[in-house]
Amino acid sequence: MTALDDPGTFTARLREAYAAQDAEFRQKYARSLPLGEAFDDRWERARKLGFGKGASVYNTTAVFGDVRVGRGNVDRPFVVLDGSGRLTIGSWCSISCGVHLYSHDTVVWALSGGKLPYRKAAVSIGDCCYIGSQVVVAAGVSIGAQCVVSANSFVNDDVPPQTIVGGNPARRIGKVVFDGATPRLTYDHRA
């Protein structure tokens, strides 16, 4: 029997390793991560999932079904990427903490007592989009390129390119305008 076969010894060594990793991350990056994130390589996970070059996906992100992600994407912790009905995310997108992207729902299944199947509908997000924290995107939604979805929004309808949406349900609140290569967010006037 090795020292690692003893649960107490294994737990003590794991705690020591985590404490050392945590101290290094706090010193180097000014951050402290949960255990799984501290030891996981999010870029390697993205490569294993077939995501585009330079994409990352955190250990706490649930990925299932047919999920296709472009290059250079940044994914934050506690995200759901549901590809049951296919999920496509373009390149250079920022998916914030707690975002849920669903390509299926079980509403009709539940209402029918399980007699009808789950509804599946593809979701797509164009290149260069920012999806704010705690956003939920419903099955069948298409978000165009260079869009901003404000935090805590529920997106249940398509979003045209270069549009800013927010709310529950999400509605247009502005647009993305470019001065040369520099994006500028312009918000609609409110009464």
Taking each continuous run of H as one helix and of E as one strand, the counts in the chain are 4, 16
Task: Tell me the catalytic residues.
Answer: 104
CA 185 to chain CA mean position, Å: 22
What's the one-letter identity of residue 82? D
Number of neighbours of residue 36 by Cβ within 10 angstroms: 11
Token pair 């927010």: residue: 166
Q: Which of 159, 182, 163, 184 is nearest to 173 (CA)?
A: 163
| Distance, CA of 21 to CA of 38 (rounded, Å) | 7
| Distance, CA of 42 to CA of 75 (rounded, Å) | 9
Q: Are 51 and 88 in contact (CB under 8 A)?
A: no
Taking the CA of residue 58 as centre, how many other CA atoms within 13 Å lie in the half-sphere pointing to its CB? 21
What's the one-letter identity of residue 181? A
| Distance, CA of 31 to CA of 182 (rounded, Å) | 30
